[in-house]
A and B are shown apart, each in its own frame.
Chain A
Amino acid sequence: MKKHAWKSALTLTITGIAGCLTPAVMAASGQVSDNVRRGREIAGTVDRNDAGFTDYVVDGEMTVRRSGGAQAKRDFEMNTLEVRNGGDKRLVVFSEPRDLAGFVSLTFTNAGAPDDQWIYLPAIKRVKRLAARDKTGSFAGSEFSYEDIATWELTNYDYEFIRDEPCGEPKTTCHTIANLPKYEYSGYSKLVETIDPRIWQPVRIVYFDKSGRPLKQLEFFGYKKYQDRFWRPSRIVMTNLRDKSVSEIVWTGYHFKTGLKAIDLTANRMASWSR
């Protein structure tokens, strides 16, 4: 199964999915079919356009700005391995702040099932398994959750077309779809995603909490093309819509097809990444 880089892998039960649909949509069954079909087409196109990257490594510099003025920086390296007919694997190694240096997280995105996740704690040299609900926890004290950082898996969502709207610079007509998580222990009821069809990548994702209220907004800036095919952002900004806290990640040094192997991204080898 192919994925693209910057949507999160979320789950929700089928019961929860039905609850996400608006009454107007539920009433017009023909319209539901059209919207669902178009939503799936758009998501499938996004998926196909990003397939085949094999693996990539990128450095992230994250700045957390809380509404009260507090600010913090985190530096890390992110390694992503594409897995055909399965979920991608993603390993993140922190280098700043220094007391977090060597902290490693590893996530296997599973199709139709909760992700597998481990962390390596260098202070006690121990690998810890995390439960599925831990994914909703904060990623290094930022507005991102582990769920947001995990790779996106096409089959882990249902989709629904919402509208076409202008976006990007210069302006074009973008597609806005809802991603409805299909597995348990997601922190969200839906993700409303606006996709630029020129690059088939998201320019904005609005995350809705379990009660259906807007919670966070992720914006993507400075897309560049790598390997003549794969578009990646140079900056992403997550804004908490309730308290206006902001977490920004600046991405530098994208490297594709680095030779990353599945055997390197295992819980047993996490310690060797901790440097």
Chain B
Amino acid sequence: MRTFASLLALSTCATVAALCSPAQGHSVRGSVGAEVRIYPDPPLLADQSTTDVQVSSYSTLNASIDIGSAQFETELFGRIAPDAAREVSGDVREAFIRLQRGKMDAKIGVISETWGVLEAWNPVDIVNQRDLVEDFQGDVKLGQPGVLMSWQLDGATLSFFGTGVARERRFGRGEDRFRVLSAPIVNQTFEDGRWAPWLQGFRAFYGRISQTSIDADYVVGDRIIKAELIHQRGHGGAFFWGGLGVETNFSRFAGGLGDLTLYAEAYADSRPDAAPLTPFQRDVFVGARYAFNDTRGTLLELRHTYDLEWRSSLVEVRARRRLFGNTLLSLHFLKIINGTCA
């Protein structure tokens, strides 16, 4: 065991009942929350914060408004984290106009596209950059300016996405804990010359890539088989990358009220050594999620990811329960064994 790190995160999220009453044609909702992160292990890097207990607050605002036959939708996020490298951070995760005409859908503005069917990681998901400070596992995305046009065909959807603005990933740096990079980024370059907002202290090379992908899920009896496959060509060469998964569900498990969901996934790629770093290169992932189906909406999830190449593991326990009314308590325990996260 070379290094290990663990994290216990407690988050309380009190949703604002209604900033204005939901009504036909518009809705506004938001949340405010407090998060406590407990780091039982010392940081790996000298410049990281040594504070074991880090408290932060965050808020979200979602709005949807009808404008004639179009919809305007927005999602704003902000966080105040005194122990982070950037104490105040935020993002416009969505702010777009949606138009629907027959089989055509269009989204114009800052959008957040989520592609893929797998649970642990989605190789096909390429549109939005990830906010790896908010969630180093990549589930939190940064809003991406652009236009998305989709046409629904019989059994398929044809989509075109265009953008003239590039965003860079947000990495942990300086005092931040749970950094996935061991060295700071001080600059950034976009290979194809697209404009990108300048931010102090970054250095990253965003090579031009071309990617072809397919994802599919198929119900076989009481199981869902899922697969994602990409072929990506970049400055480091071309490679395939994909994942295969299966999920099954047991309702009213063991005679109780709860529903148990089990899932397993395997990922592999054919990267050459010079290819860009990708997560889930040769990994297996198993998980179990138990929904208690009580009035508090209690949920418990166990997840284990094992890296076959580096022999490292990521073990997670996630739990959530509604305390009262519109207040949620969530808990996230994370332990990386033999890994390199700082």
Q: Which residues of A contact B (CB under 8 A)?
A: 64, 66, 70-72, 95, 97-102, 114, 116, 124-126, 128-138, 141, 145, 184-185, 187, 263-264, 266, 268-269, 272, 275
Contacts of B291 in A (CB 8 A): 137-138
**A135–B102 Cα gap in the complex (Å)?**
30
Contact A133 B249 (CB under 8 A): yes
**A13–B326 Cα gap in the complex (Å)?**
42
Shortest distance from the beta carbon of B118 to any chain A beta carbon, whole Å: 11
**A128–B15 Cα gap in the complex (Å)?**
24
Please classify how large the interface on chain B is, using the bins under 10, 10 to 19, 20 to 34, 35 or more: 35 or more
**A206–B322 Cα gap in the complex (Å)?**
31
B114-139 contacts to A, CB under 8 A, are: 114, 117, 139
Does B297 sit at the interface, judged by CB under 8 A?
A: yes
Does B224 sit at the interface, judged by CB under 8 A?
A: yes
Q: If A131-B221, A136-B251, A266-B152 touch, does A98 touch B103 (CB 8 Å cutoff)?
A: no
Shortest distance from the beta carbon of A133 to any chain B beta carbon, whole Å: 4
Contacts of B89 in A (CB 8 A): none
Contacts of A133 in B (CB 8 A): 221-222, 248-251
Contacts of B203 in A (CB 8 A): none
Contacts of B252 in A (CB 8 A): 136-138, 187
Does B41 sit at the interface, judged by CB under 8 A?
A: no
Shortest distance from the beta carbon of A77 to any chain B beta carbon, whole Å: 10
**A-B pairs with CB below 8 Å: how many?**
112
Contact B112 A125 (CB under 8 A): yes
Contact B251 A272 (CB under 8 A): no
SS class of chain B's interface: helix, strand, loop or mixed? strand
Contacts of A125 in B (CB 8 A): 112, 114
Does B278 sit at the interface, judged by CB under 8 A?
A: no
Does B200 sit at the interface, judged by CB under 8 A?
A: no
Closest chain A residue to B249 by CB distance? A134
B45-103 contacts to A, CB under 8 A, are: 62, 64, 71, 73, 98, 100, 102-103
**A95–B157 Cα gap in the complex (Å)?**
28
Contacts of A136 in B (CB 8 A): 251-252
- Kindly name the residue among A141, A263, A272 whose own CB sees the greatest number of chain B CB atoms within 10 A: A141
Contact A263 B103 (CB under 8 A): yes
Closest chain B residue to A138 by CB distance? B293
Closest chain A residue to B217 by CB distance? A129
**A161–B219 Cα gap in the complex (Å)?**
35
